[in-house]
Amino acid sequence: MQSKNIGSAGRASSGGIRALRTAAKLKLGDLASLASIPLEQLKRIERGLAELDDVTARALAVAMGIEPSTVCDAHSAFLGSATPGEGYTTSRRGNLEMTPARSPLPKGDSRRKVLDLFCGAGGLSYGFERAGGFVTVGGIDLLPDRIATFTANHEHAVGLAGDICETSPASIREVVGDVDVIVGGPPCQGFSSIRPFRTLTESDRRNNLVEHYVLMLAGLQPRWFVFENVVGLVTHEGGEKLRAIVDAFSEMGYTVSWRIINAASFGVPQNRERVVIVGNRLGIDFEWPNPTHYVSYRSMAGRRRELVSSMPLDSTVLKPAVTLIDAIGDLPPVESGSEVSSYARSSGKTEFQRIIRDGASELTWHRATKHSDKMMEIIRHAGSSINDLPPGMVTSGFSSCYSRLDADRPSNTITVNFVHPSSNRCIHPHQDRALTPREGARLQSFPDSFAFVGTTAQVVKQIGNAVPPALGTVIAEAIRSQDATQMPRTSGQRALSR
Ligand SMILES: C[S@@+](CC[C@H](N)C(=O)[O-])C[C@H]1O[C@@H](n2cnc3c(N)ncnc32)[C@H](O)[C@@H]1O
């Protein structure tokens, strides 16, 4: 596929401050203490996640016995060349690379146009397309492999690989035109220091990815937006950050509402809670969809009014939650280090399996991590928590590490490490191995027909970071019904329903 650059700035290679520190034979903690800066801050600066101000640069230089300019130059070169961090991490790359849409949007296509910010694999916007009545016209993500997957599954979308901080609403509009809906979830380090919207201008220097999301809305003025994030946002700084974000959206003229949603309550075979903010410029009080599946779980956000919970609803009128085995039970057994590429049965056994196969004839990404002999020994002993292991077998880890998933419940939250047993519960309930990427994708409700592009490590992260498409579909359907019934038609606006 043809790609072209729409950004500036060349890239120089550098190991940054970390390389200088290593050359000075200093450990991270030693340098932090010599320079009198918090360890966490130093870690973030080294990884390109926090700004390096002049005072800190000077302190680091003195601690390493070098010139401040050497520290600044190394850091700038690092930001220009760093392999960007995964998932919720970020770093400045300099170039925005554009992948054109695989096929142009047919003339007169009346679907609502969706722009996906921080799109990753595009799980959220893919869910919108699946709802019908929406078409994704663009997506932006720091990482080229994410854009490769995104464009492979969004036929009419332009993909922009690069740092959102390097672009502006005007240049995005030039590439994708007007949009009706913006969706996306800025990575969470953007929680720090959001300013009131009225004090933001396009020319401001911002580290804060949430502010970039806000400015995209301000510049592109879609009728609707969906902002998704981790539940931690609800309690962060006593709820101040969430309030500031909601206020920023309201100040821009959006009618805003937010909820905490567990994907399992909507038929996703996984307990995955997220905070979702929906806003519109139509003055509509958004009506949140009601859960379709009964799931018994304890919310990370406690008992809040904003929790979309299936608990108060009569469990007899809801479907039972989709369990892990309902979701992956038709996949053939696979051993650690092996791959199986054909389905053992011609069709799925459960309703979920039949739907999720989505006509795929070849089984892809059903390959299991090759575990070491020591890890195999641990896996053979693994139970529902780390405490099930014989004493001394592992020396550290949270209680959910090295643990087996429960077959008869929705799975635990899938993380970006679900192929590694040392991370959050991800060992297959009956087989001696961690989940395969295909199993993870199923638990995230990606259909088997969805094309993942990249190395195994990249694809696992694309899967683990995504909004489950099925959750995107539920939100999209709610928006579609409320948009279609209440939207005042204005000139120049596209016809809305299909
Ligand atoms: C949680 S993931 C998005 C998942 C996506 N909504 C989905 O449903 O598949 C967040 C994404 O933000 C991207 N990202 C992080 N910093 C960025 C930046 N500065 N500019 C653009 N994208 C960034 C990451 O590469 C990551 O793919």
More confident residue, 201 or 51: 51
Asked if residues 401 and 422 have their Cβ atoms less than 8 Å apart, the reply is yes
Contact call for residues 294 and 268 (beta carbons, < 8 A): no
Which of 48-57, 78-87, 154-163, 164-173 comes out lowest in average pLDDT? 78-87
Are the C-beta atoms of residues 26 and 61 closer than 8 Å to each other? no
Do the domains at 12-81 and 97-319+472-486 have one common CATH topology?
A: no
DSSP-assigned letters across all residues of 77-110: HHHHHPPPPSTT-----S--EEE--SSPPPTT--
Which phi and psi (to 5°) does residue 3 adopt? -130, 150
Cα(139) to ligand 1 centroid in Å equals 10
CA 295 to chain CA mean position, Å: 23
The predicted structure's pLDDT at residue 53 = 81
Query: CA-to-CA distance for 136 and 125, rounded, in angstroms?
Result: 7
Q: What is each CA distance from 376 to 243, 328, 426, 433, in whole angstroms?
A: 47, 22, 14, 8
The mean pLDDT of 252-274, rounded to a whole number, is 96
pLDDT computed for residue 409 by the predictor? 97
pLDDT (0 to 100) of residue 2: 41
Indicate whether 491 pLDDT > 70.
no
Amino acid identity, position 305: R
- 121 Cβ below 6 A of ligand 1: yes
Q: Which of 65-79, 181-195, 196-210 has the highest mean pLDDT?
A: 65-79
**What fold characterizes domain 97-319+472-486?**
Rossmann fold (3.40.50)
Mapping DSSP to helix (H, G, I), strand (E, B) and coil, where does residue 338 land? coil
Task: Report whether pLDDT(354) > 90.
Answer: yes
pLDDT at 487 over 70: no
Alpha-carbon torsion 355, 360, 362, 366, what sign? Answer: negative
CATH topology for 12-81 is 434 Repressor (Amino-terminal Domain) (1.10.260)
Atom number of ligand 1 nearest to Cα 165: 19
- One-letter amino acid for residue 220 of the chain: L
Which are the contacts of 409, defined by CB distance < 8 A and separation ≥ 6? 271, 321, 323, 324
- Please tell me whether residue 309 adopts helix, strand or coil conformation: coil
b/e per residue, 263-297, with b = 16+ CB within 10 A? bbbbbbbbbbbbbbbbbbbeebebebbebebbbeb
**In what helix (H) or strand (E) does residue 169 lie, and over which residues does it extend?**
helix 169-176
How many whole angstroms from 141 Cα to the centroid of ligand 1? 5
Give the span between the Cα atoms of 235 and 243, in whole angstroms.
10
* Residue among 333, 382, 331 at smallest CA distance from 360: 331
Look up residue 181 and give its two tokens.
């809906």
Q: Which amino acid is at 125?
A: S
- CA-nearest of 28, 44, 139 to 82 is 44
> What's the pLDDT at 310?
67
Does residue 257 sit in helix, strand or coil?
strand
- Region of residue 283 (phi > 0: left; psi between -120 and 50: alpha; otherwise: beta): left
pLDDT at 208: 77
Atom in ligand 1 nearest the alpha carbon of residue 125: 8
118 alpha carbon to ligand 1 midpoint, in Å? 4
pLDDT of residue 479: 98
Domain ranges of the chain: 12-81, 97-319+472-486
- Active site includes 188? yes
Any atom of ligand 1 within 6 Å of the Cβ of 143? yes
Residue 117 · residue 182 · CB < 8 Å: yes
Catalytic residue among 72, 119, 165, 188, which? 188
**What pLDDT, on the 0 to 100 scale, is given for residue 16?**
87
Assign 314 a pLDDT band (cuts: 50, 70, 90). low
Is the CB of residue 118 below 6 angstroms from any atom belonging to ligand 1? yes
Tell me what pLDDT residue 200 has: 53
- For a mutational test of ligand 1's pocket, the pick from 97, 142, 209, 444, i.e. the residue with the most ligand atoms closer than 8 A to its C-beta, is 142
Residue 204 has pLDDT above 60, yes or no: no
Tell whether ligand 1 has an atom less than 6 A from the beta carbon of residue 167.
Answer: no
pLDDT tens digits, one per residue of 267-306: 999 999 999 999 999 999 999 999 999 998 878 777 777 7
Instruction: Tell me if 117 CB under 6 Å of ligand 1.
Output: no
User: How many Å from the N-terminal Cα to the C-terminal Cα in the chain?
Assistant: 30
Residue 97: strand pairing partners = 5, 161
pLDDT, greater one: 496 or 450 = 450
Rounded-to-integer distance, Cα 156 and Cα 208, Å: 29
pLDDT digits 0-9 by tens, 126-138: 999 999 999 999 9
Sign of CA pseudo-dihedral 172, 175, 178, 179:
negative
Q: Average pLDDT over the chain, rounded to whole?
A: 86
Strands lying side by side in the sheet with 158-161: 4-5, 97-99, 158-161, 134-141, 112-117, 181-184, 224-230, 273-280, 255-262, 307-308
Would you say residue 258 has pLDDT above 90? yes
H helices present in 383-487, as ranges: 437-443, 456-465, 469-486
- Structure tokens belonging to residue 432: 């001696």
